[in-house]
Chains A and B, each alone.
Chain A
Amino acid sequence: MNNIINDIRDKARQLLAEGKVDVVIGYEKGSLPLKATPFFAHSPAEVDSLIWDETCENNLATYVAKTPGKKAIVAKGCDSRALAVLLQENQLVRDDLYIIGVSCTGVIDQRKIVAEVGEILEAGINDGKISVKGMAGDKEYLFAELKDATCQTCRYPNPVLEDVHLGETIAVSQEAPAFADVIALEEQSAGERQDYFKEQMSKCIRCYACRNACPLCYCQECFVDCNSPRWLTGGVNRAENLFFQAGRVLHLAGRCVDCGACTRACPQGVDIRALNRKMTKDVYTMYNHEAGISEDGKPALNEYTTNDPEQFLVKE
């Protein structure tokens, strides 16, 4: 890991020193244990703060269009997929963007730790083991035990789009996605699913952290903020919360890259991803489409091909 951090710093230093970019967007160590925080290096003197490890959980693609000038971005697989969709949708200028690709073995799900040992006082990562000193006890974990749910089903740990690759690449299974989590939900009765989403939606406080963390929620005016017509009130209740969450998922149909940034951003622990994953599975099944796996191509709903499975259409 140390080598790759040095490589990232060297590359960032070079890009800034040569004036190829105005800013390098990466991660630095956060203020809390096991937390990284997005970092914007504007000069070669700042690059030594850059880090890369299993705590780098944010999707940095969300910052790219909003950051002026030429920029480099440290991109893991899901960040690069989001960049690919943004490029497909003409939201970015490719020439203004330099992608420093890094392969990702997954990020840590802090909630699992806090649920077991309480608030984290100190923690260290060493050789794939995470030792934690918590307010309610100490524990040593294997990284695999703490891997975020999103990363457990990740099929693109290597960047799909990059200008340079740093560090090793990760071997990837070529099998079709299994969607076991979605199937488990589909197999429940309608009543069970309704109960599950009622519970989840009752937790939402409409802080819009999910929307703002999402690299692909970039509408100039989100439908929830629109007051003419007013689609939603500010009412925080299950029905309106579901309307917001379901509306957001539908807007992301064929575009969601399943990075899990929304779920990790949620302060209330709402299982937002359950809705996104169902949509991802449906898009895969109906259109044989995975979002953002190359710079070419278009989002599923922007394209018609006769090869689409599209079982819902009348046969010609």
Chain B
Amino acid sequence: MKISKEKFGQAFDALVADYKVIAPVSDGSGIAFTEVKSFSDVKQDYLNSKLPPKAFFFPQHEKLMSYKKEGKDVTVKSELKVENTILFGIRPCDAKGMLLLDKVFKNDQYTDPYYYERREKAVIIGLGCTKIAPTCFCSSFEISPAGSEGSDLFLIDLGDSYEVEVVTEKGKALADRLALAELTADEQALVDKIKSAETPSKIDVSNTTSKLDKMFNSPYWDTLQEKCLGCNVCSFSCPTCHCFDISEEVRKNEGTRVRTWDACMAPLFTLHGSGHNPRDNKKTRWRQRLMHKFNYFVHNNGSMSCVGCGRCIKSCPVNMDIRQVVDGANKAELVVE
């Protein structure tokens, strides 16, 4: 099915009345996901945003609750605010990233209300990639640059119109508000062509997890970390990184409990109250980073927690390229212990 961009724009503008609508806009130094009021504000020709859209469900700095003590009375207030939200223009890598975050924040042991209530109230309108950046490598993880996995409603840009795929019930509810038409044979052929594309850059991850099982004490980590500056760019720009820190911001008799993004490269990461840190150097932090994404997450959740968006590659100040890091692990000699 398809819809002309003009009609889609009108429907989009009508949705703004019922939903908080987040879409890609140009902010002068790149693309950012921001709340928009009109389809005319949306940047339609873009590769991907500088930062992943995870912050709409898992903010960088979030008040969980506030509390106040007056005499002997203590009042505690939840700070959770949830709105019906549409995320428009989410790329397939980021849509897959959200499915991976879901595994962390809602599983058989724990449901995180802050993440999940926002996630439940959000509809993802994915947009297939028709241009592929040199840093993109999503095809390594069985993600298609024009695949609909993780989206509720999925669009492919056909020039003057969008091909529309209804993926979930949530997506269907939105699609009911769109005047859809049938694709012509030529358009179908174009859709098929776009859908069959792969990223030119791919890494081989077929044996990475089992290789890493045997690499905890590998000398590979000794040299791997040398040029890393230990900043948080890779984690903050990653659609699947989800480590956080919880702290109290207290002033006199009142305060808030906040949750803030943490990063495995940060000096405070896993620092114990005693002052001991089991990962007090870049070597152990880098091992944690790679193991978490390509080994622990696989064992715990059944898939790798990298989606090949390439943001960490593009943003790294010293050009640490995760593709080379994985490749290096694949090729590293195993030491007999």
Contacts and interface: CB of A to CB of B under 8 A. Distances in A.
B134 A32 contact: yes
Contacts of A135: 47, 131, 133
Q: Which of A35, A58, A209, A265 has the most CB of B within 10 A?
A: A209
B315 A267 contact: yes
Given A33-B134, A265-B231, A267-B317, 7 more contacts: A31-B313, A37-B319, A58-B318, A119-B47, A207-B231, A234-B258, A269-B29
A42 B219 CA distance: 14
A35 B316 CA distance: 11
Given A121-B134, A233-B61, A213 B227 contact: no
B182 interface: no
Interface in A211-250: 211-213, 221-222, 225, 227, 233-236
Contacts of B229: 62, 209, 212-213, 265
A155 interface: no
Nearest to B45: A136
Contacts of B315: 267
B29 A203 contact: yes
Contact of B227 (A39, A211, A264): A39
Given A135-B131, A233-B258, A264-B317, A212 B323 contact: no
Given A119-B47, A119-B133, A208 B61 contact: no
A32 B231 contact: no
A32 B50 contact: no
A67 interface: yes
Interface string B239-263: 0000001010100000000101101
A40 interface: yes
Majority secondary structure of chain B interface residues (helix, strand, loop or mixed):
loop
A268 B223 contact: no
B30 A40 contact: no
Contact of B232 (A33, A38, A207, A269): A207
Contacts of A233: 61, 247, 249, 258, 260
A102 interface: no
Contact of A205 (B30, B236, B319): B236
Interface of A: 30-33, 35-40, 42, 58, 62-63, 67, 118-121, 135, 203, 205-209, 211-213, 221-222, 225, 227, 233-236, 261, 264-265, 267-269
Task: In the A-B complex, list the 10 residue pairs whose CB atoms are closest, starting with the nearest.
Answer: A234-B260, A265-B317, A269-B29, A267-B315, A37-B319, A212-B229, A30-B319, A31-B321, A209-B231, A38-B227
Contacts of B323: 31
B227 A63 contact: yes
Interface in B35-65: 47, 50-51, 60-61
A296 to B, nearest CB: 30
Given A30-B319, A31-B319, A36-B319, A212 B249 contact: no
Contacts of A212: 229-231, 317
B151 interface: no
Contact of A267 (B50, B245, B261, B321): B50
A124 to B, nearest CB: 15
B264 to A, nearest CB: 13
A118 B30 CA distance: 11
B165 to A, nearest CB: 26
A266 to B, nearest CB: 8
A221 B275 CA distance: 13
A294 to B, nearest CB: 27
Given A211-B231, A233-B249, A234-B247, A205 B317 contact: no
A33 B9 CA distance: 38
B268 interface: yes
5 contacts: A207-B232, A225-B268, A234-B245, A235-B258, A235-B260
Contacts of A36: 319
B135 A208 contact: no
Interface in B204-229: 223, 226-227, 229
Nearest to A62: B229
Nearest to A222: B267
Nearest to A31: B321
B324 interface: yes
B82 interface: no
Nearest to A55: B319
Given A40-B223, A225-B268, A236-B60, A31 B232 contact: no
Interface in B303-337: 313-315, 317-321, 323-324
A267 B135 contact: no
B233 A209 contact: yes
